[in-house]
Amino acid sequence: MLESTKKKIEDENRYYEAVGRRKSSIARVRILTSGPSKSIKEGNLLINDKPYKEYFPTLALQKRVEGPLARLKSLSRFKGTVKVNGGGIAGQADAVRHGLSRALVVFDTNFRKKLKKSGYLTRDPRKKERKKPGLKKARKAPQWSKR
């Protein structure tokens, strides 16, 4: 096999990996480059072995997940697999977005400026506040009675 052909095959099989987090959700993202001839519009991103449009049924969640790729105008340029667990569906969508952004920066550091400006590389630190003793929830006090 020719040396250039072998290198091209190696580059096609190489993936870029990153971890994204949000609330209690963790997403492990792997992306590969897919040539323009291989562009698959529907199944280019598999989340837990399902197409992302099937895993995230609402349009708002789908837009949240494809945000970094749309920002870079490269929706059909990459294909990827994601393993996500923990938390709810909205937290998982944000974790996938965060992991996807980080993986794109590993692929090409020039993407960092655009993604950082859009806020995709910043991990959202908000979590559920712990319950305090004597209260019903984190801040909700029991009903007050005069007597």
The structural architecture, per CATH, of the domain 7-118 is 2-Layer Sandwich (3.30)
- pLDDT for 112 equals 92
Cα–Cα distance measured from residue 55 to residue 96, given in angstroms and rounded to the nearest whole number: 12
Cα–Cα distance measured from residue 107 to residue 16, given in angstroms and rounded to the nearest whole number: 6
Average pLDDT over residues 42-47: 78
* Local confidence band at 77 (pLDDT 50, 70, 90 cut-offs): confident
Average pLDDT over residues 60-73: 92
